[in-house]
């Protein structure tokens, strides 16, 4: 039923209309009266859908209107159940694949619904006259969702409260940002006689309320700025500007003469006038609060690139707007706060380019005398402000109002007590209903209202289910949005998530990460919007008066308030998310209408600083009991089952086959030994995840019967050493994830396979034949081209070759050459020169071979496996290897290599693997001090020789030599030897001073490169299964 998403505006009306339309199609044969009823119901529900779509968030609904909307959405829920039940009674025709309505059942199964639909439709048309929107088919298309502008521009926001601008620099300290930006703007470029001062840009971006405008104002009003520039302008664009008015303000502020009325009447005339006036002047223009790229495209035409040292500063909450319009747009301030996981607080983070690591706890910089004695910087209401200056200012305002009210009653309360009162008010009623928070609510509402369509707003509202400060992975959220029906395509969901992150409505845990967080104030704002629409209810917010009529429920807290959950009608729940206490709170047997059952664990509850991360896979989660699983197998309408987990679960019962509608099944962290053969009866199953089940040893052959399966994830099941050959029958499979298992050759016949992720894969896991799979991502392009060259295919027919799939942007993949070669073969140079990784067995590495390797421009990972021990160390000169980051040398004994000055300029990790131990000790240094980016050295000795590093004089001597070199290296260094404790050596100060590159810069550049590489390299294939590993 694609194209008809679920939304907070219309509930399941869209999917219901689509299902009714399908019943009228060629796949079903209905009796005459049933067909007539279905046509009538579909027509009127389509009209109701259009009305609710048109009025959502454009009209303030009174109690009567809210009740009518709820009645319409409840009707749609009941109608969906009735359609599903009706389809189950139909029988398949012997002559065709059509489903035929049974004659035994009621002849008019939808007659009662037709009466209800007539009644609700009539009420909606009476209540909301002339509210018909576009045809339902046009409302759901991604094209219209992306391109259609709002039906009318939003009203201009009211003036901000005066206290928001009150000497902000003293309140939360922007000195560092301000000084850096001023230095950049007035830098001494003009003093040089050899370099012309150029036009440069600076960008200030961040979520609502972080102080972008305040920072820009502090810079603009500074004396150094006023004295340096001949013409200045500071103009706010706002959400829906009149561009002629904006250009007129720029013209007036820079000091130009006003234009005649005929010239001032067009944008082109104003742009021409501004450009002419500024052409011979050093100017500074600050464009504040930019919302859309089109606005900048117009305004930027006014600014001449006159090479007089002029500057442009832009502020925006939309991260993608300030892009590289100028070659010198290289000052970029990100003002988003960051969650400090270890200390449990949000930090104000001066995160600009070039990189800096300064951080501030903004609450500690506030003036406690603003609200009297006793103010607690670590109070929960302070942490709830999420490090956002505007939120803290609003909190102070709210506290002041409460104190004044109490003083009028003759009561004196200290700041700590007032904080308690504000926290309770915010949690119980939301910031929307807490006096003092109006400026923050207004700012958050602007960003929310600017979202282009209902589907994206619905996806954002859903994110309010996450507990405070919870981090969630992109893939997990995307999967849940699709399961809920907010969108039916993963690429569309990823696009929504990218846009929401780009707008600062959700925050990446760190730049480039695939994990996100909600700022606590945004989360609170969204929770109360969800409550207003009766979209999602969270257990921590439920009251007895609100407990009935809930269709989407999130249990997010063990400590549910005052028995409010007792009023929940579990039979009406259609989507249930449980973060904690599934065994305690959830009567699974009553969830007869549930369609999405999402049983998540809560990683934040683990005491991370006490957990041995290497043993994370062995942690036991008490999510479910054995009886819970049996009850779940009776939920016949469930379509998506996330998180069937728990140490008490030692069996998946055969009754799992009863879940005929099931599309998603996750089984993780259980003690099951096998999956039941009945798993093959789940013919609607599209996604099967079986992970971290420590006792799992076998998969049933019937897994090959899952004809519609598109995603199969089998990771970290340590005892599962092989998978059945029947996996090759899954011809619709698109994604396959494995851990530590050799893949059966049958999978190379899966023509639709797109993504293959291998964790801890043995060497040669991906056969050369896999490169012929037409849709498989990550296959090196040069390998694909091989199959078009008949002569080359013949040449390689005797080779043992495997593929290394590309895993990130810029990665070109690689190959493993299992055949032994005397030298680097010629076809590496001629046909595979552009690879990112190479693993090869050779007997000799001479100058002609080094020349080939040095000439591989994209080579990042190189493994050399010597079949013959080199008689002399191989000398690596300062030429070539421009991108090499990891070098592994597999040899029978050391020494193997030595490095000259300038060698392998980007190498970060050096690994030696030894298989045998003999020969005299050699104490000559390897010269690793010349590897200027190196920060990791590993000695991996063969597992067949326990303790051999100490017992072999040859290896022991080499380890001592390299260890001493590592201690003297100018970089911070990790040093590891198999079966020894890891060592860390600080940067050697004397060597660092002698290093031309500078230790601090090297360490920061390495750190950033590792972060980006890690997130890009595996982020697309990881989900919540890898959250703790990433944290480690």
For 38-54, how does the pLDDT look when each residue is reduced to its tens digit (9 = 90+)? Answer: 999 999 999 999 999 99
Is 926 within 8 Å of 897 (Cβ atoms)? yes
Pull the structure tokens for residue 291: 């919302």
**201 beta partners:** 312
- The residue-averaged pLDDT of 940-961 equals 69
Q: What is the pLDDT of residues 299-310, one digit of tens each?
A: 999 999 888 889
pLDDT tens across 39-96, in order? Answer: 999 999 999 999 999 988 777 788 888 889 999 999 999 999 999 889 888 888 888 7
Please state, in angstroms and rounded to a whole number, the distance separating the CA atoms of residues 630 and 640: 16
Closest CA to 5 of 492, 449, 734: 492
What local confidence, expressed as pLDDT, does residue 997 receive?
44
DSSP E strand boundaries for 610-686: 640-645, 664-668
pLDDT of the residue at 229: 93
SS3 at position 287: strand
pLDDT of residue 142 exceeding 60:
no
> What was the pLDDT predicted at 173?
59
Domain boundaries, the chain: 13-140, 172-335, 352-443, 536-762, 773-1000
d(CA 6, CA 10): 7
Residues 251, 273: contact at Cβ < 8 Å? yes
Of 143 and 368, the one with more pLDDT: 368
At 97, is the pLDDT very low, low, confident or very high (cuts 50, 70, 90)?
confident
More confident of the two residues 611 and 532: 532
Domain 172-335 superfamily per CATH: P-loop containing nucleotide triphosphate hydrolases (3.40.50.300)
**E-strand stretches of 99-227:** 99-100, 200-205
- Across the chain, mean pLDDT equals 83
CA diameter of the chain: 97
What mean pLDDT is predicted for residues 392-397? Answer: 90
Count CA atoms closer than 13 A to 734's CA, side-chain side. 7
Residue 602 and residue 581 in contact, taking contact as beta carbons nearer than 8 Å: no
Of these ranges, 493-507, 889-903, 904-918, the one predicted with the greatest mean pLDDT is 493-507
The two three-digit tokens of residue 320, written as one number: 């993608």
In which band, very low, low, confident or very high, does the pLDDT at 340 lie, cut at 50, 70 and 90? Answer: confident
pLDDT of residue 695: 93
Q: Which of 47, 319, 79 minimizes the C-alpha distance to 208? A: 319
Do 881 and 905 meet the contact criterion of CB atoms below 8 Å apart?
yes
d(CA 936, CA 1017): 19
- Across 82-91, 236-245, 697-706, 986-995, which has the greatest mean pLDDT? 697-706
DSSP state letters, 789-856: -HHHHHHHTTS-EEEE---STT---EEEEEEEESS--HHHHHH-TT-SEEEEEES---HHHHHHHHT-
**Rounded distance, CA 468 to CA 540, Å?**
11
Average pLDDT over residues 156-182: 60
Q: Is it the case that residue 186 has pLDDT exceeding 80? A: yes
CA dihedral 224, 227, 232, 237 (to 10 degrees): 20
Those residues whose C-beta lies under 8 Å from the C-beta of residue 260, and which sit 6 or more positions away, are none
Most confident of 359-363, 762-766, 963-967: 963-967
Better-predicted residue by pLDDT, 1031 or 786: 786
The answer for residues whose C-beta is within 8 angstroms of residue 811's C-beta and 6 or more apart is 778, 836, 860, 1017
- Least confident segment among 799-813, 859-873, 905-919, 961-975: 905-919
Global confidence as pTM: 0.83
Q: In the structure, what pLDDT confidence band is assigned to residue 563 with cuts at 50, 70 and 90?
A: low
> Is domain 536-762 classified as CATH 3.80.10.10?
yes
Question: How is residue 733 written in tokens?
Answer: 């499979």
pLDDT greater than 90 at residue 133: no
How far apart are the C-alpha atoms of 332 and 67, rounded to whole Å? 49
Any idea how long the chain is? Answer: 1032
- Of 610 and 15, the structure prediction assigns the larger pLDDT to 15
CA–CA gap between residue 433 and residue 427 (Å, rounded) = 10
pLDDT score, position 845: 93
CA angle 942, 943, 948 (to 5 degrees): 65
CA–CA distance, 619 with 668 (Å, rounded to integer): 12
Measured between alpha carbons, how far is 441 from 398 in angstroms, rounded to an integer? 13
The pLDDT confidence band at residue 1006, using thresholds 50, 70 and 90, is very low
Which of the residue ranges 708-712, 917-921, 996-1000 would you say has the lowest mean pLDDT?
996-1000
Strands (DSSP E) contained in 680-730 are 687-691, 711-715
390-399, 617-626, 832-841, 846-855: the lowest-pLDDT one: 617-626
β-partners of residue 174 are none
Cβ atoms of 305 and 329 closer than 8 Å: no
Q: Given this model, what pLDDT does residue 1014 score?
A: 36
> Predicted confidence band at 326 (pLDDT cuts at 50, 70, 90)?
low
Residue 363 and residue 379: Cα distance in Å, rounded? 10
Supply the pLDDT for residue 262: 66
Do 652 and 677 touch, CB atoms closer than 8 A? no
Under 8 Å between Cβ of 596 and 643: no
pLDDT of residue 597: 95
Q: Which residue has the higher pLDDT, 994 or 913?
A: 913
pLDDT digits (tens, 9 = 90+) for 805-817: 988 777 899 999 9
Q: Is 81 helix (H, G, I), strand (E, B) or coil?
A: helix
pLDDT of residue 261: 72
* Residue 1019: band (very low, low, confident or very high) from pLDDT cuts 50, 70, 90: very low
Helix (H) or strand (E) holding 961: helix 953-967
Taking phi first (over 0 means left), then psi (-120 to 50 degrees means alpha), and beta for anything else, what does residue 635 get?
A: beta
Question: What local confidence, expressed as pLDDT, does residue 324 receive?
Answer: 60
Structural element, H or E, at residue 532: helix 520-532
Long-range contacts of 746-754 (CB under 8 A, 24+ apart): 748/772, 748/773, 751/775
Q: What is the pLDDT of residue 1004?
A: 42
The whole-number pLDDT of residue 606 equals: 39
Asked whether the CA dihedral 16, 19, 24, 25 is positive or negative, the reply is: positive
Q: Which two tokens stand for residue 569?
A: 């009608």
Lowest model confidence (mean pLDDT) among 293-297, 547-551, 787-791, 948-952: 948-952
- pLDDT confidence bin for 325, thresholds 50/70/90: low
pLDDT tens-digit map of 449-459: 999 899 999 99
555 — phi, psi (to 5°)?
-95, 105
Closest CA to 302 of 377, 364, 247, 237: 247
Q: At what angle do helices 32-55 and 111-127 cross, to 10 degrees?
A: 30
Q: Kindly report which listed range (368-377, 569-578, 656-665, 942-951) carries the lowest average pLDDT score.
A: 942-951
Distance (Å, rounded) from C-alpha 948 to C-alpha 916?
Answer: 9
Parallel, antiparallel or unpaired: strands 575-578 and 552-555: parallel
First CA to last CA distance, the chain = 42
Q: How far apart are CA 229 and CA 210, in angstroms?
A: 27
Judged against a pLDDT cut of 60, whether residue 736 lies above it is answered with yes
Structure tokens at 702: 């019937």
Highest mean pLDDT among 170-184, 433-447, 604-618 belongs to 433-447
- Mean pLDDT of the region 410-423: 91
Mean pLDDT, residues 902-921: 84
Mean pLDDT of 600-615: 44
The pLDDT, as a whole number, for residue 174 is 77
């Amino acid at each position: 039923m694609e194209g008809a998403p679920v939304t907070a505006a219309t509930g399941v009306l869209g999917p219901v209309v689509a299902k009714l339309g399908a019943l009228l199609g060629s796949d079903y044969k209905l009796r005459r009266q049933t067909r007539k009823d279905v046509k009538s119901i579909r027509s009127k529900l389509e009209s109701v859908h259009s009305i609710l779509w048109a009025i959502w968030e454009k009209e303030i609904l009174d109690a009567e209107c809210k009740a009518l909307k709820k009645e319409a959405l409840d009707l749609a829920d009941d109608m969906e159940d009735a359609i599903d039940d009706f389809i189950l009674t139909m029988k398949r025709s012997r002559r065709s694949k059509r489903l035929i309505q049974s004659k035994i059942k009621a002849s008019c199964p939808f007659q009662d619904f037709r009466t209800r639909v007539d009644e609700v439709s009539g009420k909606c048309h009476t209540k909301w006259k002339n509210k018909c929107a576009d045809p339902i088919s046009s409302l759901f298309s991604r094209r219209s969702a992306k391109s259609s502008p709002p039906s009318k521009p939003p009203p201009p926001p009211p003036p901000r409260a005066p206290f928001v601008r009150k000497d902000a620099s003293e309140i939360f300290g922007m000195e560092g940002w301000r000084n850096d930006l001023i230095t950049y703007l007035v830098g001494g470029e003009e003093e040089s006689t050899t370099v012309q001062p150029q036009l440069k840009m600076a960008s200030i971006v961040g979520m609502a309320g972080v102080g972008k405008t305040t920072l820009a104002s502090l810079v603009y009003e500074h004396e150094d700025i006023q004295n340096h520039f001949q013409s200045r302008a500071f103009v706010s664009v706002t959400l829906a500007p009149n561009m002629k008015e904006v250009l007129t303000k720029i013209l007036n502020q820079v000091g130009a003469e006003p234009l005649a009325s005929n010239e001032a009447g067009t944008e082109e005339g104003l742009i021409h006038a501004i450009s002419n006036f500024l052409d011979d002047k050093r100017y500074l223009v600050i464009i504040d609060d930019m919302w859309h790229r089109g606005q900048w495209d117009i305004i930027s035409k006014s600014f001449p690139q006159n090479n007089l040292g002029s500057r442009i500063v832009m502020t925006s909450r939309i991260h993608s707007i300030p892009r590289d319009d100028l070659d010198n747009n290289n000052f970029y301030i990100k003002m988003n706060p960051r969650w400090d996981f270890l200390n449990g607080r949000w930090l104000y983070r001066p995160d600009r380019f070039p990189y800096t690591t300064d951080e501030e706890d903004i609450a500690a910089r506030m003036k406690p005398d603003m609200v009297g004695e006793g103010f607690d910087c670590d109070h929960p209401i302070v942490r709830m402000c999420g490090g956002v200056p505007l939120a803290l200012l609003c909190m102070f305002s709210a506290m002041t109002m409460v104190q004044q009210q109490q003083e009028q009653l003759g009561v004196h309360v200290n700041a700590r007590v007032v904080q308690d009162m504000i926290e309770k008010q915010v949690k119980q009623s939301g910031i929307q209903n807490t006096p003092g928070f109006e400026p923050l609510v207004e700012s958050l509402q602007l960003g929310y209202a600017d979202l282009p369509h209902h589907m994206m707003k619905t996806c954002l509202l859903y994110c309010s289910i996450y507990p405070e400060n919870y981090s969630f992975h992109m893939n997990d959220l995307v999967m849940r949005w699709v399961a809920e029906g907010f969108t039916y395509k993963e690429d569309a969901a990823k696009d929504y998530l990218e846009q929401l992150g780009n707008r600062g409505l959700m925050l990446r845990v760190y730049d480039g990460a695939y994990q996100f967080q909600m700022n606590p104030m945004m989360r609170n704002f969204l929770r109360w919007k969800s409550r207003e629409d009766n979209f999602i209810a969270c257990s921590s917010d439920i009251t007895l008066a609100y407990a009935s009529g809930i269709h989407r429920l999130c249990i997010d807290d063990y400590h549910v308030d005052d028995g409010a959950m007792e009023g929940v009608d579990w039979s009406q729940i259609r989507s249930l998310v449980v973060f904690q206490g599934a065994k305690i709170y959830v009567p699974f047997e009553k969830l007869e209408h549930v369609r999405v059952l999402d049983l998540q664990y809560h990683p934040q509850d683990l005491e991370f600083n006490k957990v041995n991360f290497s043993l994370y896979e062995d942690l036991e989660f008490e999510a479910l009991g054995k009886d819970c699983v049996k009850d779940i197998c009776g939920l016949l309408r469930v379509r998506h089952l996330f998180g069937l987990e728990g140490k008490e679960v030692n069996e998946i019962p055969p009754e799992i086959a009863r879940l005929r509608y099931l599309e998603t099944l996750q089984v993780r962290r259980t003690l099951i030994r096998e999956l039941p053969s009945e798993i093959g009866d789940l013919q609607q199953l599209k996604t099967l995840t079986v992970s971290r089940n420590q006792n799992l040893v076998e998969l049933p052959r019937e897994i090959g019967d899952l004809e519609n399966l598109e995603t199969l994830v089998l990771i970290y099941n340590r005892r599962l050493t092989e998978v059945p050959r029947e996996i090759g029958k899954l011809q619709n499979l698109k994604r396959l994830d494995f851990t530590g298992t050799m893949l059966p050759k049958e999978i190379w016949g899966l023509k639709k396979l797109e993504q293959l992720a291998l964790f801890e894969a043995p060497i040669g896991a991906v056969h050369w034949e896999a490169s012929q799979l037409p849709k498989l991502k990550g296959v090196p392009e040069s390998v694909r081209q091989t199959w078009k060259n008949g002569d080359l295919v013949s040449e390689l027919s005797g080779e043992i070759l495997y593929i290394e799939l590309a895993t990130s942007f810029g990665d070109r993949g690689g190959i493993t050459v299992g055949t032994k070669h005397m030298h680097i073969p010629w076809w590496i140079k001629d046909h595979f020169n552009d690879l990112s990784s190479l693993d090869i067995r050779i007997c000799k590495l001479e100058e002609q071979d080094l020349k080939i390797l040095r000439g591989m421009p994209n080579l990042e990972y190189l493994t050399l496996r010597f079949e013959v021990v080199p008689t002399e160390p191989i000398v690596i000169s300062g030429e070539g290897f421009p991108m090499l980051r990891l070098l592994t040398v597999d040899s029978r004994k050391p020494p193997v290599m030595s490095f000259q000055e300038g060698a392998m300029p980007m190498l970060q990790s050096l690994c030696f693997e030894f298989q045998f131990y003999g020969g005299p000790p050699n104490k000559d240094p390897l010269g690793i001090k010349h590897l200027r980016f190196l920060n990791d050295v590993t000695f991996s000795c063969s597992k067949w020789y326990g303790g051999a590093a100490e017992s072999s004089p040859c290896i022991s001597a080499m380890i001592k030599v390299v260890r001493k070199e590592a201690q003297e290296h100018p970089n911070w260094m990790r040093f590891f030897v198999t079966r020894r404790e890891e060592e860390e050596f600080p940067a050697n100060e004397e060597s660092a001073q002698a290093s031309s590159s500078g230790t601090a810069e090297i360490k920061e550049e390495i750190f950033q490169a590792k972060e980006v590489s890690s997130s890009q390299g595996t982020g697309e294939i990881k989900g919540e299964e890898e959250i703790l590993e990433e944290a480690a």
